[in-house]
């Protein structure tokens, strides 16, 4: 209890007023609203298909389309873009993990098909993806 | 404006610029919160808010931002402008509540909060991504702490430095 008393005495000596704390507290709480507003992650605009790290094709997520990747040895992955989302809908790999992954749309999300060395990554679609945060 | 006021505004501007340069050379205090700073220049701003007329405060703030940019580089000018203008605007609105409801420390704290908010808003505007805003609560916490400390320091300066005290009594008597 002494601690609270001392704190209040201290706050009075430095001449703070109750409304100060109300406003600062409200602002601080309001700053957390950004988490609910933006935490879902931004939706990507395009997706890159890479085989062994090399970019083979870039998909525009705004256009609905289906495209099949075929390798020389008969491996194939059927890729579908629908309503801004991308998925592998059919593939002849053993584990079928890429098909089970389903549709993805947020930047940074990936679909990986290890047997075919295939990676699909959703990108924001802007050139400068890195934010140089120096203030 | 008489010559005395010109000199005072220039002195404050110079002090704020020097504080800004000193601060930009310091290593970051908190490795876990990049971008969090004490905001020494805001100490001068809070003194200015209470000892100058509002037009003079605005002139001083813009001069300070431009001159500091000459030394630290123009790449961060947009960020510091967004932070500086928004924080001064917030301090102005906060001061309208009057001495019965708010205090110098409260005004300084609100200024510290909006300084961070302005910079982050500009960052997310320039990078065209809203994910930067997720950093706001963390940075706002340090901004509030810094603003609080700056407010206490400002109170001390006003009560101990005689020329500042005289101008404070002249310009904002009801806040004593």
Which CATH number characterizes residue B137's domain?
Answer: 1.10.1760.20
What is residue B28's predicted lDDT score, i.e. its pLDDT?
66
Q: Which domain holds residue B168?
A: 3-175
Domains of chain A, residue spans: 2-38, 46-123
* pLDDT over 90 percentage in chain A: 10
Q: Which two tokens mark B29? A: 């205090």
pLDDT value for B113: 92
Task: Say whether residue A29 is in contact with chain B using an 8 A CB cutoff.
Answer: no
User: Nearest Cα to A111, choosing from A102, A120, A103?
Assistant: A120
Cβ separation A128–B127 shorter than 8 A = yes
Q: How many domains does chain B have?
A: 1
Sheet containing strand A76-82, edge to edge, reads A65-70, A76-82, A85-91
- The mean pLDDT value of chain B amounts to 87
pLDDT digits (tens, 9 = 90+) for A19-70: 888 999 999 998 888 777 776 556 778 888 888 888 888 988 888 999 999 8
Give A91 or B37, the one with higher predicted confidence: A91
What is the mean pLDDT of the segment spanning B134-155? 89
Fold topology of A46-123: mini-chromosome maintenance (MCM) complex, domain 2 (2.60.320)
Angle among Cα A94, A100, A106 to the nearest 5 degrees reads: 130
Return the H-helix or E-strand segment holding A27. Answer: helix A18-38
CA distance B12 to chain A (A): 22
Residues 6+ apart with CB under 8 A from A114: A93, A95, A97
* A10 contacts chain B (CB < 8 A): no
- pLDDT for A133 equals 52
Q: For A127, which residue in chain B has the nearest alpha carbon?
A: B127
Given this model, what pLDDT does residue A128 score? 47
């Amino acid at each position: 209890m002494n601690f609270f008393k001392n704190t209040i005495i201290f706050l009075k000596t430095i001449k703070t007023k109750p409304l100060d704390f109300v406003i600062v507290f409200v602002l601080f709480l309001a700053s957390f609203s950004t988490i609910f507003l933006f935490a879902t992650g931004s939706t990507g605009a395009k997706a890159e298909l890479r085989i062994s790290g090399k970019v083979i094709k870039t998909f525009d997520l705004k256009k609905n389309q289906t495209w099949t990747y075929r390798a020389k040895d008969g491996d194939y992955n059927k890729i579908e873009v629908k309503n801004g989302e991308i998925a592998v809908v059919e593939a002849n790999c053993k584990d079928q993990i890429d098909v089970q992954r389903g549709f993805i749309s947020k930047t940074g999300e990936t679909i990986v098909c290890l047997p075919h060395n295939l990676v699909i990554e959703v990108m924001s679609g802007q050139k400068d993806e890195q934010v140089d945060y120096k203030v | 404006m008489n010559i005395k006021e010109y000199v005072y505004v220039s002195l404050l501007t110079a002090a704020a610029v020097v504080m800004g340069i000193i601060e930009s050379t310091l290593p970051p205090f908190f490795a876990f919160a990049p971008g969090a700073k004490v905001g020494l220049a805001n100490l001068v701003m809070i003194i200015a808010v209470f000892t100058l007329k509002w037009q003079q405060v605005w002139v001083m703030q813009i001069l300070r931002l431009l001159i500091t940019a000459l030394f630290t580089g123009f790449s961060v000018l947009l960020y510091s402008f967004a932070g500086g203008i928004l924080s001064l605007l917030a301090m102005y609105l906060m001061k309208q509540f009057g001495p019965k409801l708010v205090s110098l420390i409260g005004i300084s704290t609100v200024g510290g909060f909006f300084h961070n908010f302005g910079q982050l808003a500009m960052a997310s505007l320039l990078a065209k991504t809203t994910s930067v805003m997720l950093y706001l609560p963390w940075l706002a916490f340090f901004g509030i702490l810094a603003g609080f400390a700056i407010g206490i320091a400002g109170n001390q300066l006003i009560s101990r430095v005689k020329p500042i005290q005289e101008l404070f009594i002249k310009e904002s008597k009801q806040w004593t």
